[in-house]
């Protein structure tokens, strides 16, 4: 019973990291695609939006890792071996990004160092979600080979394949998409608002294209993604829901609504995660040539799972209200009516 609590928290943490941390990464990605003359306004708006919450947003990744190594230690240790390389690259990205973001704001002197911080921030905002996506894709691409004998087969081809790379690109696109939708509501003048709306439309097209590439690469690499999504009732329902919400989002994006597009964007990402995970649940990792690591079978002993479950439940009682209050306190105050 507690196993299901823990599994729910695992997926919840993954989702929340994707939506909240992802929007955070997206901020840097948007900076990458912003013209020079607009960039300082964009940065200002971004910092104002993210500043108080970035540290809390990235905590979800720690929660995912802790749940994995406490309750699913076999999965944690095996992925740490076979995906060592993309994990290290991702960590480099996390280090660069976290420090660049804070350093550029807290440096007491504002001079040419800012350019260095900006460049590091922007590039790491791309690299980190890319490799997070590569890692995620690699868990289900079926290239992790426990019986591999060569270095390349064991440590490189486990993740260096079309599908994983496409998932990486798709993750980057989704992060940019989430951030761009969020940013619209943070604009404090009409000019910025229109700019951000344009950016959001670009990011949406980027995401749809990248999503299509994921399907193409799945066919190339022999990953049964098409079956998982379209031949499964839940997967199909999720995809239809995601498409429908995308259409509604596209219509509403030009209007004055702020909250609804954000909710729709979050809903879409949830549906995407559902579509890609549901069909092969409880198998969390799919191995080459066949074989899996299962969340129900490869789980820690009951005493551990029960203790973890209670820790998560009790922790939530403290954390979730506090987190909501943090978001609520720092969201933009009463949105001013925007002049046409």
Partner 1 sequence: MPVITNSMTTFVARFTIMNDLLAARSQMALSLGFHIIYACIGMVMPFFMAVSHYQWIKTNKDVYKNLTKAWSKGVAIFFATGAVSGTVLSFELGLLWPAFMKHAGPIFGMPFSLEGTAFFIEAIALGFFLYGWDKFNKWFHWFTGVVVGISGLASGILVVSANAWMNAPTGFDFVNGEYLNIDPIAAMFNDAWFSQSLHMSLAAFAATGFAVAGVHAIMILQKKNILFHSKAFKIAAIFGTVAAVLQPISGDFSAKDVARRQPAKLAAMEAHFHTQESAPLIVGGIPDMDKKEVNYAIKLPGMLSFLAHGDFNSEVKGLEEIPEEDQPPVAVVHYAFQIMVGCGIIMMLISMAFFVALLKKKWFYGTWLLKLFALALPLGFLAVEAGWTVTEVGRQPWIIQGVMRTVDAVTPMPGIAWSFYLFTLVYVMLSVAVIFLLHRQIQMVPVLYDKGPGVSQE
List the one residue from 3, 46, 49, 79 that touches partner 1 (CB under 8 A): 79
The yes or no reply on residue 250 touching partner 1 (CB under 8 A) is no
Cα angle for residues 89, 90, 91 (degrees, 5° grid)? 90
To 10 degrees, the CA torsion angle through 61, 63, 69, 70? 180
Go through 84-103 and write b for each residue having 16 or more CB atoms within 10 A of its CB, e for each that does not: ebbbebbeebbebbbebbee
The yes or no reply on residue 36 touching partner 1 (CB under 8 A) is no
Cβ atoms of 143 and 161 closer than 8 Å: yes
List the one residue from 5, 12, 56, 148 that touches partner 1 (CB under 8 A): 56
The yes or no reply on residue 98 touching partner 1 (CB under 8 A) is yes
Task: Please list, in sequence order, all residues whose beta carbon lies within 8 angstroms of the beta carbon of residue 333, skipping any fewer than 6 positions away.
Answer: none
Number of residues that bind partner 1 (CB under 8 A): 60
Report residue 250 CA to chain centroid gap.
Answer: 21
The yes or no reply on residue 2 touching partner 1 (CB under 8 A) is no
The yes or no reply on residue 39 touching partner 1 (CB under 8 A) is no
The yes or no reply on residue 47 touching partner 1 (CB under 8 A) is no
DSSP for 305-337 reads: HHHHHHHHHHHHHHHHHHHHHHHHHHSPSSPPP
Residue found by looking up tokens 């994707």 in the block: 18
- The secondary structure of residue 298, as a DSSP letter, is S
Segment near partner 1 (CB under 8 A), from 22-30, 82-90, 186-194, 238-246?
82-90
Tokens of 278: 């549901």
Q: How far is CA 130 from CA 25, 45, 210, 332, in A?
A: 10, 24, 12, 30
List the one residue from 1, 36, 37, 108 that touches partner 1 (CB under 8 A): 108
The yes or no reply on residue 103 touching partner 1 (CB under 8 A) is yes
Give the nearer residue to partner 1 in terms of CB position, either 62 or 296.
62
Q: Which of residues 179-208 bind partner 1 (CB under 8 A)?
A: none
Q: Which of residues 274-333 bind partner 1 (CB under 8 A)?
A: 300-301, 303-304, 307-308, 311-312, 314-315, 318-319, 322-323, 326, 329-330
Binding site for partner 1 (CB under 8 A): 51-53, 55-56, 58-59, 61-63, 65-67, 69-71, 73-74, 76-81, 84, 87-88, 91-92, 94-95, 98-99, 101-103, 106-109, 151, 154-155, 300-301, 303-304, 307-308, 311-312, 314-315, 318-319, 322-323, 326, 329-330
């Amino acid at each position: 019973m507690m196993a299901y609590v823990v599994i729910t928290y695992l997926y919840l943490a993954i989702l929340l990291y994707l939506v909240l941390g992802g929007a955070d990464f997206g901020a840097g990605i948007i900076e990458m695609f912003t013209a020079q003359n607009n960039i300082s306004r964009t940065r200002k708006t971004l910092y104002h939006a993210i500043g108080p919450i970035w540290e809390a947003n990235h905590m979800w990744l720690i929660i995912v890792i802790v749940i994995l190594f406490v309750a699913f230690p076999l999965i944690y240790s095996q992925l740490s071996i076979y995906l060592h390389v993309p994990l290290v690259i991702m960590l480099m990205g996390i280090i660069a990004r976290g420090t660049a973001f804070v350093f550029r704001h807290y440096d007491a002197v504002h001079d040419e160092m800012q350019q260095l911080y900006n460049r590091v921030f922007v590039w790491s905002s791309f690299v980190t979600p890319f490799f997070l996506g590569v890692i995620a894709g690699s868990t289900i691409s079926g290239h992790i080979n426990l019986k591999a004998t060569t270095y390349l087969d064991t440590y490189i081809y486990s993740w260096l394949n079309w599908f994983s790379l496409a998932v990486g690109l798709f993750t980057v696109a989704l992060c940019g998409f989430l951030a761009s939708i969020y940013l619209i509501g943070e604009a404090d003048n009409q000019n910025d608002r229109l700019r951000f709306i344009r950016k959001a439309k670009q990011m949406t097209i980027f995401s749809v294209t990248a999503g299509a590439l994921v399907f193409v690469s799945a066919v190339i690499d022999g990953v049964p993604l098409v079956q998982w999504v379209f031949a499964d009732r839940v997967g199909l329902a999720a995809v239809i829901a995601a498409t429908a919400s995308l259409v509604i989002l596209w219509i509403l994006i030009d209007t004055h609504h702020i909250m609804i597009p954000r909710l729709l964007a979050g809903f879409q990402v949830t549906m995407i995660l559902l579509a890609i995970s549901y069909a092969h649940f409880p198998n969390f990792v799919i191995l080459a040539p066949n074989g899996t690591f299962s969340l129900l079978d490869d789980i820690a002993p009951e005493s551990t799972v029960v203790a973890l479950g209670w820790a998560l439940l009790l922790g939530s009682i403290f954390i979730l209200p506090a987190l909501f209050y943090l978001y609520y306190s720092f969201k933009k105050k009463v949105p001013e009516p925007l002049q046409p």
